[in-house]
Chains A and B, each alone.
Chain A
Amino acid sequence: DARVTQTPRDKVTEMGQEVTMRCQPILGHNTVFWYRQTMMQGLELLAYFRNRAPLDDSGMPKDRFSAEMPDATLATLKIQPSEPRDSAVYFCASGLLLMEGWTEAFFGQGTRLTVV
């Protein structure tokens, strides 16, 4: 049963601490997205990758957020230093873009981050 795996599922941290969220995309998928979900803003795209290369990270606060794909099986989203306004649910999704079209994006269960 192929699925996107995100860890941790929940994270509580103190302001100023570094937070790293991990995502294992579905094997063979060539596109990975990071979204942030809040009540006020809904689902915001932070960054996305194609074949491990970043295509767009314009939605990400560059001073404290960074996203990487060290290899095809792992995507990371790091916040350093974390702030209370970063509290949200962070979703990773993966999909497969083929020449003949796009397949659906599969989402992980998200990481609920609380910064106190």
Chain B
Amino acid sequence: AQTVTQSQPEMSVQEAETVTLSCTYDTSESDYYLFWYKQPPSRQMILVIRQEAYKQQNATENRFSVNFQKAAKSFSLKISDSQLGDAAMYFCAYRRVRRDDKIIFGKGTRLHILP
């Protein structure tokens, strides 16, 4: 069975600094998707970034980028120039490339931004 592990329940970073959130996953598949979702206090789940496993290039969205290490099954999220609005729970998620497959989430990392 596929699993997603986020080993850091909480992290803190100074405003304007850079922080990296860790995620590892377990799968025997070669093709899949990986995602980072953000959940602010409003409860809304917001997709931050996604990565297709067949792509070697790491995905980037403005201040958010990933370090995708397929062999190590690692998918970390880097947030540059942290802003107060980045404070949230961050969830790493996985989905196989199959028509009948579901999204599996890690337990989340709560990120605090220190002013």
A residues neighboring B (CB under 8 Å): 33, 35, 42-43, 45, 48, 50, 55-56, 89, 91, 93, 97, 101-102, 104-107, 109-110, 112
Contacts and interface: CB of A to CB of B under 8 A. Distances in A.
Given A89-B43, A109-B42, A110-B43, A101 B102 contact: no
B107 A33 contact: no
A104 B103 CA distance: 10
B91 interface: yes
Contacts of B107: 42
Contacts of A48: 102
B44 A107 contact: yes
Contacts of A89: 43
Contacts of A107: 37, 44-46
A105 B43 contact: no
Contacts, number: 46
A109 B43 contact: yes
Contacts of B33: 102
Contacts of B108: 42-43
A114 to B, nearest CB: 14
Interface stretch (B16-24, B69-77, B93-101): B93-101
What class of interface size applies to chain B in its complex with A? 20 to 34
Nearest to A97: B99
A33 B102 contact: yes
Contacts of B102: 33, 45, 48, 55-56
Nearest to B100: A55
Contacts of B46: 107
A109 B103 contact: no
A28 to B, nearest CB: 17
A102 B43 contact: no
10 contacts: A42-B108, A43-B108, A50-B100, A55-B102, A101-B52, A101-B97, A104-B35, A107-B46, A109-B44, A112-B43
B50 A45 contact: no
Given A48-B102, A50-B100, A91 B35 contact: no
A105 B100 contact: no
